[in-house]
Amino acid sequence: MVDDRHGQALRSRTASSIGAHPGFADLQGFGRRVINLTIKELEANIAYQIGALQAIAALHGAKVTHMKPHGMMANMSADERRRCRRRSRAPPRRSTAT
């Protein structure tokens, strides 16, 4: 059973939105060390992290609306065009349908 107090808090913040902050699986370095992944591995890693947050948000009647990479993932995507393009494929897109 889900305690809905957190969901109520999420829904009551109408002026804010929920965003994912995916990073490398680098617990000791807090996501700030270079981890060389293939493009497919990077895309899967980002999709997994965003998907987990989407599931939690959905349990509380909320949606993930944006993402910003964390730490070295952000630095590397700024430096590498291919990596940046793949990163931009993974985030959730806002629905224009009502």
pTM of the model: 0.67
Q: Which residues of the chain have pLDDT under 70?
A: 1-15, 79, 81-98
Assess if residue 39 is contained within a domain: yes
Q: What is the per-residue pLDDT for 24?
A: 92
Q: What is the per-residue pLDDT for 27?
A: 83
What φ, ψ does residue 34 adopt, rounded to 5°? Answer: -70, 130
Assess if residue 13 is contained within a domain: no
Total structural domains within the chain: 1
Q: What is the per-residue pLDDT for 81?
A: 65
Range of the domain at 53: 18-89
Assess if residue 26 is contained within a domain: yes
Which residues neighbour 70 within 8 Å (Cβ) at sequence distance 6 or greater?
21, 22, 23, 24, 31
